[in-house]
Structure 1
Amino acid sequence: MPSRQHRKQSRRKPRTGRPRAPLYAAALVAVVGAGYYLGSGGDSGTGALGKPTPSPGLDGGGPVSQQEPGAPESEEPRPGASPSAAEAAESANQPPIPQRGDGEFDTVAVPGTSRTVGKGTPLRYGVAVERGLGQDPDGFAREVEGVLADRRGWTTGGKAAFQRVDRPPYDFVVRLASPGTTDELCAKHGLDTGGEVNCSGGTDVVVNLRRWVLLTPAYQGRAAMYHALIVNHEVGHRLGYGHRGCPGPGRPAPAMMQQIKGLNGCVINAWPYDSDGRAIEGPKLD
């Protein structure tokens, strides 16, 4: 039999008191511009797990722009908004997306731990998939692991290190969840995801199955690239990075840009750094 081992894991209750990291929700909705922004951004002076933020940010010359702890942000669909034509066409070729899974998660082990990527003490992260989604848990874990290990990712420049593990303690857990369960998990952090979007709060990085499967209009036919954007954007928030704007027409959109709201002349991009190790940055928005 395969050596894979799955361990049943119930959703954990939210921690009380001050959260270990800033709370964020991704700007990932199916309709361009069909979203609202909740909360205001600012420099809190702390990064992941409440540790001091390194002085260089994405631009290598200043503190990372972050959300003040306890002031979450969210993008949610405009009430009554209809799916885009691209999403409707994509959904016609996909199995129905369950509105709700079993509400219980299996932590994935392929094998139990990964190699450490990046320099310094690694952040220990788990990957968990809700039961009843009809998805391949090992495939999801490998995809998340590959994104975080990519040389264009957050490990570039020595600012972060990661190791996937299959048991506590976790610094964060990337969860693939049904839309209904996503709403429940994110609501515990004060976020309204409306069955449509992802969120990051506490130690949870929640990937909405709807976004993972249907993508967004600009990324149709580029599932791997869009998956990388989801992981990089949400984990970027977990590391304490705030949103960025487009740096100029024809230039790559930063991974921390809310690309679904419009590219503003930029071209799609899923990575914090380019293949030469240069930061793909833009003006700070929060």
Structure 2
Amino acid sequence: MPNDTQAAPTGATPDASAHQDRPARSGPVEPRRRRPRGWIALLCLAAGAVLVGLALLRGAVDAVAGAHQVPGGVTSPSPSPPSAPASPSPSVSPLPVYQLPGDFPASGPGTWKYATGMGGVLGSSGGLRRFRVAAETNIAGAELAEFTRMVDLTLGDPRSWIGGQRRLQRVPAGSAYDFTIYLATGETTRKLCATGGMDTRLDGVSYTSCRLPGRVVINFNRWRLSVPDYVKGHVELSVYRMYVINHEVGHELGRNHERCPGRGRPAPVMQQQTYGLQGCRANPWPYLDGKRYAGPAM
């Protein structure tokens, strides 16, 4: 840090006044005694030079020692030079997920583990429907918590069915309920849906989800892998999950299938988006801009 410096004051110059001629005196002449004015001036100059030198020496010592005064008169060492800042580690943005890789069970025992705890009331007005959430026991350990979270998140969004003067609430097993939302392996989904006369297979593999009276069945195959139009369109897996929950719950609430209203427009949530978007854009919500969004009836 640069310091302001001042030039040392110069000493007074010696008296240089010239001697004047004096008239001669009669009688014996005493020898003139010289006054020590010049010596005193020289001594003053020397003393000033010493003081200036000491001041300069003190400044040099302080600069070398790096001392500085802090409030209260306490001398503390100057801070060491700052080290170069560490390079910040690059922020890693999570990559979008369109489907999950890896193996997973294609079938299960057909038994269930239920989410515990009472959820809050979703929605502010209208009739109340209570529901349970369950996952097949062979997948529940890894999936039940996330499935429950996604159901609560989806149905609690104002763009979901609560946007239409309806309230929903998740309840634990043992409580009174109106319907159950199941996450089932593909083969268990096929068996359950077949009891209602529905065939969930595509090319011999259980593909779609379904709704039976009081039972919303989400196919674990689709829960992990989404569908071709969503994957090719780079629509994230979480969006498909919200769509399939709202679609099947919509059936439980009395809604029927609808068609794409026109190329480039949002797909109605009751469109069978699992089979293809038919020129529409992926959309998981029954309410857009605060209004019910629907397509032509099938």
TM-score w.r.t. length of structure 1: 0.63
Tell me the percent identity: 40
Whether the aligned pair in 2 keeps the contact of 1:247 and 1:283 (CA below 8 Å) is: yes
CA positional deviation for 1:272: 0.5
Show the 5 A alignment for 1:130-149. Answer: 130-133=136-139, 135-149=142-156
- 1:122 matched to 2:128: yes
Secondary structure of 1:122's partner?
A: strand
Separation (CA, whole Å) in 2 of partners of 1:246 and 1:197: 19
Provide, for residues 248-279 of structure 1, a one-character-per-residue CA deviation record: whole Å limited to 9, x for no partner.
222111000112333333211111011x2122
Displacement, 1:183?
1.5
CA separation in 1, counterparts of 2:133 and 2:115?
A: 6
Q: Name stretches of at least 5 consecutive residues in structure 1 with no aligned partner.
A: 1-89
Deviation at 1:219, TM superposition (A): 1.8
After the TM superposition, list the runs of 4 or more consecutive aligned residues in structure 1 that deviate by more than 4 angstroms: none
* 2:295 aligned residue: 282
Structure with the larger helix share: 2
Contact 2:115 2:134 in 1 (8 A): yes
What does residue range 206-217 of structure 1 map to in structure 2 within 5 Å? 206-217=217-228
Q: Larger RCO: Structure 1 or Structure 2 (Cα < 8 Å, ≥ 6 residues apart)?
A: 1
Match of 1:152 among 153, 159, 171: 159
> Structure 1 residues 130 and 148 mapped into 2: Cα distance closer, same or farther (>3 Å)?
same
CA contact (8 A) 1:245 1:254 kept: yes
Measured on the aligned residues, the alpha-carbon RMSD in Å equals 1.7
1:261 aligns with 2:275: yes
Structure 2 counterpart of 1:273, from 287, 290, 293: 287
Question: Is the contact made by 1:170 and 1:203 (CA closer than 8 Å) also made in structure 2?
Answer: no
**What SS is found at the alignment partner of 2:181?**
strand
Q: Does 1:97 align with 2:104?
A: yes
- What residue is the counterpart of 1:181 in the other structure? 188
- 1:198 alignment partner AA: S
* Aligned partners of 2:263 and 2:278 also within 8 Å: yes
* Aligned amino acid, residue 218 of structure 1: D
2:269 counterpart letter in structure 1: A
Partner of residue 251 from structure 1, selected from 258, 265, 289: 265
**Match among 242, 245, 250 for residue 256 of structure 2:** 242
Q: 1:179 to 1:262 in 2, by over 3 A?
A: closer
Counterpart residue number, 2:67: none
Separation in structure 2 between the aligned mates of residue 237 and residue 157 of structure 1, nearest angstrom = 15
CA distance in 1, matches of 2:127, 2:209: 27
